[in-house]
């Protein structure tokens, strides 16, 4: 039931994520920002660090590889824990500012590619997933944002998990994390 990928629509959503995250997290006590929802899960603070790390090393660098090399050069592997060193010693306000700056830069670089409609099906090579297209990469960027905003909300919701009583069964956000 998808509507089909559209670069201007995707860009509009991507541009909103830093503002959305800031509205959700800025000014909250650490308990809300640094709470995960179970063993091995990330807090909203860590998720924000992950989003920044992805801005630096994932979306636009991989788009550049597709546009410049196609399948002849595989993407560099993404370090899923790379954010851990990036967030050390930083405040929430530091990370919110960094995310805003990095996302702005990513969107400027995306716009510099020009009209991508005729190039969305260009192939690239993911080191674990194999053949992907520019369309797949850019659509994943949007869904990745939405996934992690939801993850932030889940970590925050778990603060009150023990307080909602019998309503817990109606609140899907409070479902325990799936085993890995």
**pLDDT at position 121, please?**
97
Task: Classify residue 109 as exposed, middle or buried by CB count within 10 Å of its CB (0-12, 13-18, 19+).
Answer: middle
pLDDT digits (tens, 9 = 90+) for 122-151: 999 999 999 999 999 999 999 999 999 999
- Stretch among 57-61, 79-83, 101-105, 112-116 having the lowest mean pLDDT: 79-83
Going from the C-alpha of 170 to that of each of 37, 118, 160, 161, 175, the distances in angstroms are: 17, 45, 14, 12, 10
Percentage of the chain surpassing pLDDT 70? 98
Rg (CA), the chain: 18
Alpha carbon distance 55, 141 (integer Å)? 10
Q: Which of 86, 83, 137, 131 is nearest to 110 (CA)?
A: 137
Q: Are 133 and 120 in contact (CB under 8 A)?
A: yes
pLDDT digits (tens, 9 = 90+) for 10-40: 999 999 999 999 999 999 999 999 999 988 8
pLDDT digits (tens, 9 = 90+) for 88-104: 999 999 999 999 999 99
**pLDDT at position 3, please?**
75
Rounded to an integer, the average pLDDT of 83-92 is 94
State which fold the 7-161 domain adopts: 1.20.120
Q: Give the start-to-end residue ranges of the domains of the chain.
A: 7-161
pLDDT confidence tier of residue 2, bands split at 50, 70 and 90: low
Q: Which residues contact 11 (CB under 8 A, 6 or more apart)?
A: 107, 110, 111
Please provide the average confidence, as pLDDT, over all residues in the chain. Answer: 95
Query: Quick one: CA dihedral 74, 78, 79, 85, positive or negative?
Result: positive
**pLDDT at position 86, please?**
87
**pLDDT at position 180, please?**
59
Going from the C-alpha of 143 to that of each of 108, 114, 119, 140, 148, the distances in angstroms are: 20, 22, 20, 5, 9
**pLDDT at position 65, please?**
97
**pLDDT at position 94, please?**
97
What backbone phi and psi angles, to 5 degrees, belong to 133? -115, 165
């Amino acid at each position: 039931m998808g509507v089909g990928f559209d670069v201007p629509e995707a860009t509009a959503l991507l541009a909103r994520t830093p503002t959305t995250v800031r509205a959700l997290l800025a000014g909250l006590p650490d308990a809300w920002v640094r709470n995960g929802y179970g063993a091995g899960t990330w807090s909203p603070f860590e998720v924000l660090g992950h989003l920044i790390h992805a801005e630096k090393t994932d979306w636009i660098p991989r788009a550049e590889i597709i546009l410049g090399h196609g399948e002849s050069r595989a993407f560099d592997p993404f370090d899923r824990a790379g954010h851990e060193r990036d967030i050390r010693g930083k405040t929430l306000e530091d990370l919110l500012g960094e995310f805003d700056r990095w996302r702005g830069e990513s969107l400027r670089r995306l716009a510099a590619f020009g009209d991508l409609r005729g190039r969305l099906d260009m192939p690239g090579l993911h080191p674990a997933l194999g053949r992907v297209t520019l369309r797949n990469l850019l659509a994943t960027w949007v869904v990745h944002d939405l996934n992690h905003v939801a993850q932030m909300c889940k970590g925050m919701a778990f603060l009150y998990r023990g307080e909602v009583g019998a309503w817990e069964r109606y609140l899907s956000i409070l479902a325990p994390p799936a085993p890995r």
